[in-house]
Chain A
Amino acid sequence: MGFRTVAQWAASPDSGKWHITTFRKAVASAATVANDFIDYTYFAGNPPANFYASAPLEAALVESIRGINIPAIDGQFLKRITVMSAASSATGTTNQNQRLLLADYLLYYPFVDTDAVGEQQDMIQTAALPRYATGSGVQMMAVAQSAASTVGTFIVSYTNQDGTAGRTSSTTYTKAVAGGGALVSSTTNAVAGSQQFIQLQAGDSGVRSIQSVTFSAAGGGLMCLALVKPLYHFYSTQECRRTTSGNLESYGAASQFETVLHGPPVEIKNGAVLGIVGLGNAGTLASSVLTGILETTWS
């Protein structure tokens, strides 16, 4: 059940119908590229890293332990999210101004070989999409599971939100990346810049399952196709750091989003596996740390 008034929403901490949890994710030391997305779940911290490590091409559920902890309660909404990004060093600035997306991680198909040119890699449907059973609003995300040497090209065959099989994604280009965790999908073959999601066939609004992937140009690596439900867009602004020479100066900012004021108070489904996708703006995010508080509420 939802909320009837703003007062009811605001009073949730007093009423005890409120959950608060910390998250802290440290990006690995391999460089990422400005304007490329990364999958923060892939990196170490709390919750622990989500390497999408299971049998190749077999559908698997993202383990709940890989998500930001929330209580097992129905009718739960995102109340507030607050984030700060710690710089990798006293002079590091490249982790500033990140675009962030909170998503519910649902299902994944790991270890797609981006070098298998001309070969149809068929997925094995060993698990079904949880929580958003029709796939409406569910998007495909290509996550690097290794370094990749070049720009590959692929298409995905999938079943859409209406249950129609044989739908075909736009031709999608992978990225040359220094390590796992980067998103490797773009509608152009430009070296810089990427897109969060693989573009669906015209008219489709979601993905229920993936049937196959076919590469027409090799990408030189491995990737996972993850199905996620985008929930909430937010931002981290200035990096947090303290200089250690010259005039000592503190830099930093916290970005806080009260959803009832700053965006839709989205529902968090019972059992959701929450993770964050980030977009670096000013350079590499390597060795930076995204830390935050996620609060949920229910009526």
Chain B
Amino acid sequence: MGFQSQDDLINQITTNGKLDTVVYQKTSVAVGQAGHWQHLLNSVGSIPAATFGGSEATFTATDNTWSEGAIAIGDKTSPATKHILSMGAGVVAAAGAPWFILPIDLVGYAKLTTTNVSTTGTKTITMTAISNTAANVDRYANGEGLRLFIGSYSAMGANAPTMQVTYTNSAGATGKVTTAGCVSTASATSGTILNSGNAANKYGPFLPLAAGDTGVKDIESVIWGGTAHASGSVIVGLCKPLCMPIPVPATGLYNMVDFVNTLPSMPRLKNGANVTFLVFGTGATTASATVYANFDYGWN
């Protein structure tokens, strides 16, 4: 339903109490590499570190009740809809500035470990395609607007293979493939988004979809080419970027974006949203960096 006017927004917040505040803080698990994005999912903090306990090469849906750690954002009964009103973020680290912090809704992941990482070739992912039902996993109907990334959750071994993801797009076309030539990062630290980086054939934060595609309905496979990583564990993340990244110019500074009084966009926060944050470091970001973010959301 949303808000009809500024007056309606004020009334719903102050009279009807339809406002909640979220705080998020993580201590980065490892050094963030220069020019890379980090996912922080396996970093300790509030929310706790995830261990990715799902089955190998199988999509695990995540939502606001994910047992490995999710911000407890309450669902609201339709026709009420939730909207982000403001968001801020900061970083405290001895090095690595400036940063960008991007909020995403992690819809799910598929993990690959051992020989699914240390050998090249096509690694098939088992996944039930995202549909258009009221289930939380279908909160972005047919995967419209969803994006892909490949992130490490252990230190990666030597070598930087090429990587592509084969997927079904939001229109239902199968066998679509992300951009050819995208390379991973050799010996990347834990928590690194491997498709991002500071060189040719790196794309951040997300793998470029095939021409004309605007979403991902089903992850079909990961294709590793070239020389495989010597070791490591990764997830293929499927997520919805929620709004503009928050810029953080230097350590200890805090920036806040108002989604009501600038260009009033008030990004939608779907029921079931599993909100987490990605961080881009211009320089190498010190391990144990503190990344914090907060946002207010209202509903009606």
Contact = CB atoms under 8 A, between A and B. Distances in A.
B245 A84 contact: no
Given A240-B249, A251-B250, A254-B249, A10 B144 contact: no
Contacts of B198: 24, 45-46
Interface residues of B, number: 52
A69 B145 CA distance: 17
B108 interface: no
Contacts of A258: 262-263
Mostly helix, strand, loop or mixed at chain B's interface? loop
A254 B255 contact: yes
B102 interface: yes
Nearest to A6: B263
A116 to B, nearest CB: 33
A241 B197 CA distance: 21
B183 to A, nearest CB: 12
A21 B214 contact: no
Interface residues of A, number: 44
Contacts of B196: 22, 46
B98 A46 contact: no
Nearest to B241: A20
Given A46-B197, A250-B251, A242 B97 contact: yes
Given A24-B282, A240-B249, A48 B200 contact: yes
Given A250-B251, A258-B263, A291-B98, A13 B282 contact: no
Contact of B244 (A9, A47, A80): A80
Contacts of A293: 100, 244-245, 247, 280
A16 B142 CA distance: 12
Given A16-B145, A86-B282, A252 B214 contact: no
Nearest to B246: A254
A13 B97 contact: no
A72 interface: yes
Contacts of B255: 254
A289 B283 CA distance: 9
Nearest to B269: A14
B251 A46 contact: no
A48 B201 CA distance: 8
A73 B212 contact: yes
Given A45-B35, A84-B282, A291-B98, A241 B211 contact: no
Interface string A50-83: 0000000000000001000101110000001010
Contacts of A10: 263-265
Given A16-B140, A20-B241, A20-B245, A84 B102 contact: no
30 contacts: A11-B265, A14-B145, A15-B145, A16-B140, A16-B215, A16-B240, A21-B204, A22-B100, A22-B196, A45-B199, A46-B196, A46-B199, A46-B200, A71-B211, A73-B214, A82-B244, A82-B245, A84-B282, A241-B97, A241-B250, A242-B97, A250-B97, A250-B251, A252-B253, A254-B255, A261-B262, A291-B282, A293-B100, A293-B244, A293-B245
7 pairs of A and B residues whose beta carbons are closest in the complex:
A16-B145, A252-B249, A254-B247, A72-B211, A250-B250, A48-B200, A252-B250
Interface of B: 35, 37, 97-98, 100, 102, 140, 144-146, 170, 196-206, 208-209, 211-215, 240-245, 247-253, 255, 262-265, 267-268, 280, 282-283
Given A14-B265, A71-B212, A256-B247, 10 more contacts: A14-B145, A16-B215, A16-B240, A17-B214, A24-B282, A71-B209, A252-B97, A254-B248, A258-B263, A289-B282
